Structure 1
Amino acid sequence: MTAIRPSFIRAGLTAIALSSALLSPAAQAADTSAAEQLQRWSAQAGAPGNADKGQVFFNNRQGGEWSCASCHGTPPTTQGKHANTGKVIAPLAPAFNPKAFTDTAKVDKWFKRNCNDVLSRECSAGEKADVLAYLNSLK
């Protein structure tokens, strides 16, 4: 029987730790950026996002009782608070929250859910591009 040397054990444990870190949800979460999301929606809309239109959309009610700003604040550079549940919401503007818009699956999920709350429908790619152009303009 061959003895296993300590250096092989350390190397094996290091490899296991590295592969675990690479496969962890936190390591996989940042698959995109706010700029890439803006490019995606602008391409789908066939026009670049418009920050001025996005600001108006974000701050005004769209037929329902809430606006985006109802929960995310005006401007959305500090913590917001869900209008119904009171749950604290991280700043939405990417310059104030480096994790904002970095996970495509979460971005799509929350836009779908929040647009339904504000519009009673999903947002169009153009509306998403405009809102994100506005949020990216906040420094």
Structure 2
Amino acid sequence: MNFRPLSILPAALLSLLSLLCAGTALAAETTAAAQLQHWSAQAGAPGNASKGQAFFNARHGGEWSCASCHGMPPTAQGKHANTGKVIAPLAPAFNAKAFTDSAKVDKWFKRNCNDVLSRECSAAEKADVLAYLNGLK
């Protein structure tokens, strides 16, 4: 019997690793519509564009609103209120890259909600804002 399992193992591991890495890369890719679906499902209700617009423009008791940096409406370049850094348009119809990377969506929601609210946004708040942004044409 000429069975050599160890010679097969590296090739099998390499194949498995390639599949896992490809799956990870694909999992990060998303769309603004998929993000809206995700957060609506997390909230247990569809996002509400009217609530999202009100949320986006409100200061929530703090110094900044979402609109402070992203503009109103967020269809053109914005500018960070503190640093002056240019920010690409937030509305997906005006920025093809908006909300296309799940990790970045999570990172920026966490950071920006903390800046505006001094806490993380709820799933319903994220769904509402996404409903508003996805509706801008």
| TM interval, short-chain normalised | 0.7 to 0.9
**Structure 1 outlier segments of 4+, above 2 Å:** 27-30
Corresponding residue number in structure 1 for 2:133: 135
Segments of 5+ residues of structure 1 without an aligned counterpart are 1-22
Shift of 1:60: 1.1
Of 55, 58, 62, the match for 2:56: 58
What CA distance in whole angstroms lies between the structure 1 residues aligned with 2:117 and 2:47?
19
Say whether the 8 Å CA contact 2:47–2:131 is kept in structure 1. yes
Q: Provide the identity percentage.
A: 86
Alignment-derived partner of residue 40 in structure 1: 38
Distance 1:136 1:64, change over 3 A: same
Which residue does the alignment assign to 2:101? 103
Q: Which sections of structure 2, spanning at least 5 residues, go unmatched?
A: 1-21
Corresponding residue number in structure 2 for 1:67: 65
- Deviations along 1:82-131, whole A, 9 cap, x unmatched? 00000000000000000000000000000000000000000000000000
Which letter maps to 1:93? Answer: A
Distance 1:44-1:96 versus aligned 2 partners, 3 A rule: same
What are the superposed Cα offsets for residues 1-27 of structure 1, whole Å, 9 maximum, x if unpaired? xxxxxxxxxxxxxxxxxxxxxx8xxx8
Do residues 113 (structure 1) and 88 (structure 2) align?
no
- Name the aligned partner's letter for residue 92 of structure 1: L
CA distance in 1: counterparts of 2:26 and 2:89, whole angstroms: 21
Contact 1:51 1:130 in 2 (8 A): yes
1:16-41 CA distance string (max 9 Å, x none): xxxxxxx8xxx869710000000000
Contact 1:52 1:134 in 2 (8 A): yes
C-alpha contact 1:51 1:131 (8 A) present in aligned 2: yes
